[in-house]
């Protein structure tokens, strides 16, 4: 299902929105987190899929691979940790807590009585638990009935206390808020609600660091290298962080934004239909666990409503097929380790590119350069293997083999013209006698 957004704008970035999220803060978030030992140094890779692009009749497909961002395996490591870092600095304004010292645990004594809590489908809670452990504060994570034991274990491994509730993600959000109010704890959530926007803003601002890294080599005056950016939905936080950066940087020259959701967790599609933050129309439960959200974040919607051009839904089956396509290196491209939510962008692209009418509506064509963000790797390894038929190590081994063979091929290709030039130069210096046959 494709929902065009009639309220999407093409113009300068809204000044009021810029006061909330902006490029300067995205860069500052990136700088602060660079001190954390759980973040891998350097940029995450951007994979090119030229063979798949040809199959789908688009010019280029680029995949930003967030599975390598951290041992935690997802982009969420950019959100909860920076929000917690800024929260602590606001909470103790008289202290000279530097990001480097906080992330190294040098103020754990000061923070031992500080408790943070959040609901999660897995990745956000894992990132918050890891950050809390590094900084030395206590962490409580609320999990709903559909979060697997496999996703619970890594959260508990970072020392978080687990609270289980019946129901879905939205029920766990309500329980986290109740426990926080009852115990004087601090909610660190990626979704906003009335009176609670500062921390979700910081979470979303952290996600914008992905684009800051991605566009770093580009000159400020250069045109946007992408015509289309397909982003995962959920409550809207990732999409809002990414959209805000592109919009501020390129203004009217921004790319077309498409947001994808599970069919049964379509709160953003329903928001686009109604023109306001809305609830999902389905059961919410989805194999795309990170996107199984039933209610739009009002703060995120302030950025999405004026900027996202289209909202689209995909089925669980389509997401799994996209996972398999990435894992196998469909059509001869590099294999990519992408989890259930991570592959949703490719699932959406296949739906759109496969329909002449949807291609026309979204402007996809032979010159389109599509950016996808693979937001997670195999964060639930057993589920990943069951869904794709591949283990995470086997995909990474295939990726390494593909890269090695490509490097060898590139060296051969580089050498071939040199060999031809050398032979030509040698022939050019021969005299008739030297070149004559002795037979």
Averaged pLDDT score across all residues of the chain: 91
- Joined together, the tokens standing for residue 181 give 């109010």
Whether the CB-CB separation of 304 and 240 falls below 8 Å is answered with yes
Can you state the angle between helices 198-207 and 237-250, rounded to 10 degrees?
A: 60
Would you state the pLDDT for residue 396?
97
DSSP 1-51: -EEE-TT---SSPPHHHHHHS-HHHHHHHHHHHTT-TTSPSSPPPEEE-HH
Instruction: State residue 277 phi and psi, 5-degree precision.
Output: -55, 130
Least confident among 17-26, 307-316, 406-415: 406-415
The yes-or-no verdict on residue 431 having pLDDT over 50 is no
* pLDDT digit string, tens, across residues 253-272: 999 999 999 999 999 999 99
pTM: 0.90
Given 64, 65, 121, 190, which residue is catalytic? 121
Band the pLDDT of 169: cuts 50, 70, 90. Answer: confident
Is 39 within 8 Å of 77 (Cβ atoms)? yes
CATH class of the structural domain 80-189: alpha beta
Query: pLDDT tens-digit profile of 90-134?
Result: 999 989 899 999 999 999 999 999 999 999 988 999 999 999 999
- Token pair of 432 as six digits: 């008739």
Selected catalytic residue, list 14, 64, 65, 76? 76
Confidence band, pLDDT 50/70/90 cuts, at residue 412: low
Q: What are phi and psi of 84, to 5 degrees?
A: -65, -40
Determine whether 171 is an active site residue: no
CA angle 124/161/104 to nearest 5° reads 65
Asked if pLDDT for residue 438 goes beyond 60, the answer is no
Residue 321 and residue 351 in contact, taking contact as beta carbons nearer than 8 Å: no
User: 233 CB contacts (<8 Å, ≥6 apart)?
Assistant: 239, 259, 260, 261, 265, 267, 268, 291, 293, 311
Confirm whether 424 is a catalytic residue: no
**Which of these CATH numbers, 3.40.640.10, 3.40.50.2300, 3.40.50.1100, 3.30.360.10, describes 2-73+207-390?**
3.40.50.1100
**Given a cut of 70, is residue 424 above it in pLDDT?**
no
Residues 299 and 421: their CA atoms lie apart, in Å, by 61
Mean pLDDT of 305-313: 98
Q: What is the pLDDT of residue 247?
A: 98
């Amino acid at each position: 299902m494709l929902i065009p957004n009639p309220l999407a704008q093409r113009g300068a970035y809204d000044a009021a929105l810029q006061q909330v999220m902006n490029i300067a803060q995205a860069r500052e978030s990136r700088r602060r987190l660079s001190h954390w030992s759980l973040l891998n140094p350097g940029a995450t890779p951007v994979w090119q899929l030229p063979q798949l692009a040809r199959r789908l009749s688009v010019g280029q497909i680029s995949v930003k691979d967030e599975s390598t961002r951290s041992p935690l395996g997802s982009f969420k490591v950019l959100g909860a940790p920076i929000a917690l870092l800024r929260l602590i600095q606001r909470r103790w304004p008289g202290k000279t807590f530097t990001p480097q010292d906080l992330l190294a645990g040098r103020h754990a004594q000061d923070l031992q009585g500080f408790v943070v809590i959040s609901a999660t489908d897995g990745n956000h809670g894992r990132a918050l638990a890891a950050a809390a452990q590094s900084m030395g504060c206590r962490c409580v994570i609320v999990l709903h009935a559909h979060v697997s034991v496999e996703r619970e274990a890594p959260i508990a491994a970072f020392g978080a206390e687990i609270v289980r509730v019946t129901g879905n993600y939205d029920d766990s959000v309500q329980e986290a808020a109740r426990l926080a109010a009852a115990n004087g704890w601090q909610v660190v959530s990626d979704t906003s609600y009335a009176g609670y926007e500062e921390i979700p803003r910081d979470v979303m601002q952290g996600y914008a660091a992905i684009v800051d890294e991605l566009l770093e080599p580009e000159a400020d005056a250069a045109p946007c290298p992408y015509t289309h950016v397909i982003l995962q939905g959920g409550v809207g936080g990732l999409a809002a962080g990414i959209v805000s950066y592109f919009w501020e940087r390129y203004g009217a020259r921004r790319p077309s934004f498409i947001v994808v959701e599970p069919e049964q967790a379509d709160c953003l599609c329903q928001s686009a239909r109604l023109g306001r933050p809305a609830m999902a129309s389905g059961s919410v439960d989805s194999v795309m666990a990170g996107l199984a959200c039933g209610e739009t974040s009002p703060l995120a919607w302030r950025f999405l409503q004026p900027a996202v051009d289209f909202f689209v839904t995909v089925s669980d089956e389509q997401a799994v097929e996209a996972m398999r396509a990435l894992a196998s290196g469909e059509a001869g491209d590099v294999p990519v380790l992408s989890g259930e939510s991570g592959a949703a962008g490719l699932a959406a692209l296949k739906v759109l590119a496969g329909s002449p009418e949807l291609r026309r509506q979204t402007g996809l064509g032979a010159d389109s350069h599509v950016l996808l963000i693979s937001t997670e790797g195999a964060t639930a390894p057993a589920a990943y293997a069951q869904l794709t038929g591949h283990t995470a190590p086997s995909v990474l081994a295939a990726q390494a083999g593909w890269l090695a063979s490509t490097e060898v091929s590139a060296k051969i290709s580089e050498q071939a013209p040199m060999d031809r030039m050398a032979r030509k130069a040698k022939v050019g210096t021969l005299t008739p006698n030297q070149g004559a046959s002795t037979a």
